A and B are shown apart, each in its own frame.
Chain A
Amino acid sequence: MMKRYTYMCFIFIFNSLLSANIVIENAVIWDGESKEEYIGNIFIKDNKIENISNRKFQAERVIDADGLIVTPGLIAPLTEIGIVEIGALSVTRDDNDDFYHIGFSIHDAYNPKSTLIPWNRSNGLIGSITVPSKGNLPIGGMGSFYILDGLLEISSIEDNVMLGKIGGSNNSSRAMQISLIEDLLSLANDSKKIDLESIDEVNEFIDDSLLASKLDLMPRDIRALNKLVNKKITLILNVHRASDILKVIEIKEQYDIDVVISGGQESWMVANKLATASIPVIIDPMNNIPNSFDQLGARSDTAALLEKAGVKVMFTVPRDHNYHLIRQGAGNAVANGMSYDAAINGLSGVVSDVFNIKGRGKLKKGFYADLVIWDGDPLEPASMPTHVIINGEISDLTSRSSRLMERYTSGEDKPNTYR
């Protein structure tokens, strides 16, 4: 009796502390960083994860996951979400411009009402690092991180990545590309000496630099370059050939910048050196095609080889619009030797670590409640989310696509336009 009383008292106190908006019970949790899954209840209050434990919580909304896998909401590290609606329609594309060479930012072009957002969200993607297509210099063009909640009031991290590329090209030697990157980074180092807020000083700085003048650089370009050497922005360099990747390692060490390799078809050849240099790689694990002379070393087990060497691996997709398919890529990486935990963590926690997206990408106490309950193994492409939660809000999984499907699978006695 006494015991029971104590217990009830405990519950009472406990409940007063731990009343929640949402509790997800009996979840098999892959938390975005652990090597193994564990079973628990996830306790969401307001927009954050208040706790994860085996205890019972009381909440306004209880979702019994009943042994389903719960992961952090997926974050795709290289997308066009929000800035390209239809690839072949240039009026719907805001991913490119050549007025600014380095400081071009897509941030303000982002359309939170793009149809890609509900679509990718309903497939488990909650975050996107949206990037411009590369500009006319070997580095330049800035991308931003967005939360895919579709709200007009955008949640983003503005200009957290810069794009770049080294490789075979119709109009320039890679030797020029490398030299130009080095010269621009030297210019960036020089810019540390001036007050970037002073437009006069920046203009004078440009006038004094033959390189800056020759390239028609603008103050925006100088400020963007300066962010690189002050480590306020991460450079994502699209590089495939092993010898070029070694050059990137040298550049990173010489100029002390944050670099991530994308593409990286021959990265496996220099995996140990990438690990030592702490350079993560974004790869498409399904792309084993020697699609250019820079990519002759393309193979299916690159992700596995990189993981083995200790390189952080993230994923991109072979075709646009379906960025949620990074999980099919991760599944194929596992099928080709990558560990399950490295693959599943590469879909969220690794991305938030590498790009410094604070409080997201993992299921941990105090983190934003961005998570997905899956109806099966999330790395099986046939699986789908049963619930997607962003910032503690249960998302509507309706998309334009699901609306069209309903239209054409019901009410067939009426014309489609009256359904």
Chain B
Amino acid sequence: MHLFRSILVFFLLTSFNSFANNEPFESTYYPLPQSNILFKGGNIYDGDGNEFLNTDVIISNGVIVAIGEDLPVSEDTIIKDVTGKWITPGIIDIHSHMGVYPAPGVSTSSDGNEATSPVTAEVWAEHSMWVQDPQYALALAGGVTTFHVLPGSANLIGGRGVTVKNLQRNTINSMKFPDAPHSLKMACGENPKRVYGNRGQMPSTRMGNVAGYRKSWIKAEGYLSKLEEYEAKSDEAKELSYKPTRDLELETLAGVLKDEILVHNHCYRADEMATMIEIAKEFNYKITAFHHAIEAYKIADLLAENNICAALWADWWGFKHEAYDMVQANIAIVDQARNGTGCAIVHSDSEIGIQHLNQEAAKALSAGNRAGYNISKARAMKWITSNPAKAAGIYEQTGSLKVGKNADLVVWSGDPFSVYTKALEVYIDGAVAFDKNNSFKPVSDFDVGIIDAAKDRVE
């Protein structure tokens, strides 16, 4: 029996390896044990901008199978009365450094910035992520089912970001969101020019930054055309020539030019965002989202016209000169641009903020309506669900409560926009991952016995 299992494991490993030669670091994610559940009589923000009061939701085999009233259910369905409670999609954070800057924030696990060269497109955030970071579980209690981890902003081009399910496991591959595209982290402005300028190397100015991006894209274009030239050859001609040597840096950049990797661009100032849009046009790639974008409100129409999301804080400001012009209605202004076609996202970039994205959205919503807009809570829910899902390239799978999509959802104790409201239950792919009332939650290895040997960290 034992031997048989070993042989089977060996077979699986070898077959996986042969596959892995082409696609390394594939997701090995699988859900927790799933249940078929009828959530009865809840109030719903579906994440696509709709509100349904006193409505039922059925999940089965990990997906949403029905939303409506008086729905028929199968015998094995668990019925949960959620009258007076709210159901939303699982919250998604498009900007997190959990795992790459884990807690405790000690130098030995501070792995988010490969600040040794201004362009490090070859590094992948997932190769820094510490799977035992105790912060994931805290975010889960805030309703976060999916988050995107980016390299830091020290570099012009910082490397690949990764989308993960908030289901803490022992390997990063087992947390990776299946089939989610990578992102490419780029950074404008003060950070790269400060980091490298202080060392007396390029870039030390914003014009140096721009030259740096353009030089990289020129190299990437050359690499891609060599690859395409080779791929266009007949099999015989291929045998007579060498396949261009792989280059990890340019492979990532070429992935952007081939629309396989999504550009997530840290950029605060409106004028710099406009310049970045010019660069994207010059090299024919798409910017998926500007992050932090304190001045997005100054060019909200330009962003909407170019189909670029802005991932924003509700109110943080003033820590840098490029973060000085904060207005609280920033998110609302982006959302309402060009007749409401703008794409606004509330992001955290913070291990505390990620636990309260609902509160941050509440502040942004109230500021927007104070500024004269008439934005509903149902629409504001998009800022922390479907819009980040779109920006992460996973909207087909998650980010809203739609029949056929992953059953990633949160049952809230009350209005999700209130400070007093708590996530009671969090489901990932139809499996309960957090249950407040039954104290069911993940505990990272780090938390085990670290204060009192017989207890978990805070118990």
The interface of chain A, by Cβ under 8 A from chain B, is 85-89, 115-116, 286-293, 295-299, 318-322, 325, 328, 331-332, 334-335, 379-384, 401-402, 404-405, 408-409, 416
Contacts and interface: CB of A to CB of B under 8 A. Distances in A.
A383 B418 CA distance: 10
A198 to B, nearest CB: 44
Contacts of B324: 86
Given A296-B451, A320-B319, A322-B315, A408 B352 contact: no
Contacts of A402: 327
Interface stretch (B77-85, B99-107, B197-205, B424-432): B99-107
Interface string B405-445: 00000000000011111100000000000000000000000
- Chain B CB count within 10 A is highest, among A290, A295, A383, A401, for A290
A334 B458 contact: no
Contact of B328 (A328, A332, A405): A405
- Chain B CB count within 10 A is highest, among A296, A379, A384, for A296
B419 A289 contact: no
B266 interface: no
B362 A380 contact: yes
A334 B420 contact: yes
Interface string B70-104: 00000000000000000000000000000000011
A379 B363 CA distance: 12
A382 B363 contact: yes
Q: Which 4 A-B pairs have the closest CB atoms?
A: A331-B419, A382-B366, A321-B318, A87-B319
Given A318-B352, A382-B365, A401-B328, A288 B320 contact: no
B316 interface: yes
Contacts of B104: 290-293, 295-296
B70 to A, nearest CB: 35
A116 B318 contact: yes
A318 B350 contact: yes
Given A296-B450, A408-B298, A409-B333, A380 B317 contact: no
A356 B397 CA distance: 57
A409 B327 CA distance: 11
Interface of B is mostly: loop
B297 A408 contact: yes
A340 B321 CA distance: 37
Contacts of B134: 290
A287 B103 CA distance: 12
A6 to B, nearest CB: 48
A87 B350 CA distance: 17
A153 B420 CA distance: 40
8 contacts: A292-B104, A292-B106, A328-B363, A335-B420, A335-B422, A382-B362, A384-B366, A402-B327
Contacts of A384: 366, 370
Given A331-B419, A408-B333, A290 B103 contact: yes
B359 A381 contact: yes
B356 interface: yes
Nearest to B138: A288
Contacts of A334: 419-420
B327 A401 contact: yes
B362 A381 contact: yes
Interface in B314-372: 315-321, 324-329, 333, 350-353, 355-356, 359, 362-363, 365-366, 370-372
A88 B419 contact: no
Given A291-B105, A292-B105, A405-B297, A86 B318 contact: yes
A85 B103 contact: no
Nearest to B105: A291
Contacts of A321: 316-319
A267 B233 CA distance: 70
Contacts of B300: 408
A296 B359 CA distance: 25
A375 to B, nearest CB: 9
- Chain B CB count within 10 A is highest, among A295, A380, A416, for A380
Given A286-B352, A290-B103, A320-B318, A381 B458 contact: no
Given A85-B318, A290-B103, A321-B317, A382 B417 contact: yes
A288 B326 CA distance: 27
A325 B363 CA distance: 11
Given A291-B105, A379-B419, A297 B458 contact: yes
